[in-house]
């Protein structure tokens, strides 16, 4: 559904997120619970999209606040952090690079392959 507020568009269910991710500057993850949505946070980070979210959005993901992502505790912080990232090119680039790097290290295909191989070898040895 389209919002009349300053070009902001709120989408319902989307089959393929990548075209949307490729067309926006920030990912906003105001999660109150984590079921399934954390994969979308990882997808955004792996696409180089800086993300602002609630603590639950990043819970258990080993991401650092104000380094790889920006954690907002309430509405005021969300607005402030979104505005700051959106308008500060250097910080936006820093979050983009650091988020992408850590997401690749933790959740990228090479990391997953390596972890699976290690588990298989451990299983065969043990």
pLDDT digits (tens, 9 = 90+) for 73-105: 999 999 999 999 999 999 999 999 999 999 999
Domain residue ranges of the chain, discontinuous segments joined by +: 18-125
CATH tag, 18-125: 3.40.50.2000
Among candidate residues 85, 83, 113, the one with its CA nearest the CA of residue 99: 85
Residue 3: per-residue pLDDT: 46
Q: Which residues pair with 51 in a beta bridge?
A: 27
List, for the chain, all residue ranges whose pLDDT scores fall below the cut of 70. 1-6, 34-36
Residue 72: per-residue pLDDT: 96
Residue 67: per-residue pLDDT: 92
Residues near 8 by beta carbon (within 8 Å), at least 6 away in sequence: none
Exposure string of 62-72, with b = 16+ CB inside 10 Å and e = fewer, is: ebeeeebbbbb
**Residue 126, CA distances (Å) to 2, 94, 114 in order:** 56, 43, 18
């Amino acid at each position: 559904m389209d919002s009349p507020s300053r070009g902001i568009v709120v989408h319902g269910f989307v089959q393929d997120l990548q075209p949307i991710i490729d067309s926006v500057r920030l990912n906003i993850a105001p999660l109150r619970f984590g079921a399934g949505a954390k994969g979308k946070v990882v997808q955004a980070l792996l696409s180089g999209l800086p993300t602002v979210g609630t603590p639950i959005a990043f819970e258990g993901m080993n991401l650092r606040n104000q380094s790889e992502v920006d954690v907002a505790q309430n509405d005021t912080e969300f607005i402030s952090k979104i505005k700051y990232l959106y308008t500060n090119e250097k910080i936006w680039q820093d979050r983009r690079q650091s988020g992408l790097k850590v997401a690749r290290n933790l959740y990228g295909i090479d990391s997953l392959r390596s972890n699976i191989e290690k588990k298989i070898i451990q299983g065969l040895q043990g």
